[in-house]
Amino acid sequence: MADIFVGEKHKEKEEVGSKEEDVLKEPKEPEKFHTKVEEDIKKAEKPITREHIPGHTHNPLSAFDYFPDNIDFETRDREEKIVLFLRRHPITNLKWILVTVLLVFAPFFLGAFPLLDFLPGNFRFIAVLGWYLGTMAYILENFLTWYFNVYIVTDERIIDIDFNNLIYKEVSDANIDKIQDVTYKMGGVARTFFNYGDVEIQTASEVPNFEFAAVPQPDRVAKVLQDLRIEEEQEKLEGRVR
């Protein structure tokens, strides 16, 4: 009886060992590589987690917004997700702001000189009023040009919107899979200190070259574009292209 008991016990050990070998022999599925942008896209789907993504902001005057809220454009597809919303760095407005300050205070300084004394009082008032109306037009033109000249990066393409005036704008776009090369440039003390520069994008589309001029964090913009290219290639390999 003892020999039979040992034999059965040994047989059970062999069965357990064979099962363990079968488990070890089972091929494991390769782990999928996830880019930083892909992880952030999943976080951005939930408003709670989106708030904690670095670079996300609710400031309507922001020049760098990562996964922005309440941003849309005419040709956007229903499932297309906006990853980046960019403008020129606010420091680039300093030049016309300084000119505006001079224009505002110029009449006070010019009043010390008898330039308009030959005009009647009412005409001098009209001249000063016209001066300030021109100054307001100068402010409005420069602000609108900065505000509406934007660069948009989605999970499918890049869009460059050039706002020239109130009645004319030019929109260019290219698919992410058409991007061939991305480079960024930062030169000078001001650009290095305030962390902004130019991002140049070479594509195989109808518009061969795109330039995101004077945008904040150009290194991060280039990294986002690189991750989107990788993600687009993975989608093609897995047959997930929309």
Q: Is residue 196 part of a domain?
A: yes
Based on the fold, state whether residues 162 and 193 are members of the same structural domain. Answer: yes
pLDDT at 26: 47
Based on the fold, state whether residues 207 and 167 are members of the same structural domain. Answer: yes
**34-38, 57-61, 153-157, 212-216: least confident range:** 34-38
Average pLDDT, the chain: 83
Name residue 44's amino acid.
Answer: A
Average pLDDT of span 58-79: 91
Q: What is the dihedral of CA 98, 103, 109, 111, to 10 degrees?
A: -170
Structural domain boundaries enclosing 43: 36-88+149-238
Based on the fold, state whether residues 208 and 155 are members of the same structural domain. Answer: yes
d(CA 183, CA 3) in angstroms, rounded, equals 77
Q: Is residue 56 part of a domain?
A: yes
Number of domains present in the structure of the chain: 2
**81-95, 120-134, 169-183: least confident range:** 120-134
pTM value > 0.85: no
Task: Report whether pLDDT(46) > 90.
Answer: no
Based on the fold, state whether residues 170 and 72 are members of the same structural domain. Answer: yes
From the list 59, 6, 21, 107, the residue with the least C-alpha distance to 216 is 59
Based on the fold, state whether residues 140 and 153 are members of the same structural domain. Answer: no
Based on the fold, state whether residues 138 and 156 are members of the same structural domain. Answer: no
Task: Report whether pLDDT(230) > 60.
Answer: yes
CATH assignment at residue 43: 2.30.29
More confident position, 5 or 200: 200
Based on the fold, state whether residues 64 and 139 are members of the same structural domain. Answer: no
Q: What 3-state DSSP class applies to 72? A: coil
From the list 167, 174, 180, 241, the residue with the least C-alpha distance to 206 is 174
More confident position, 42 or 11: 42
Tokens of 83: 């990853």
Task: Report whether pLDDT(1) > 60.
Answer: no
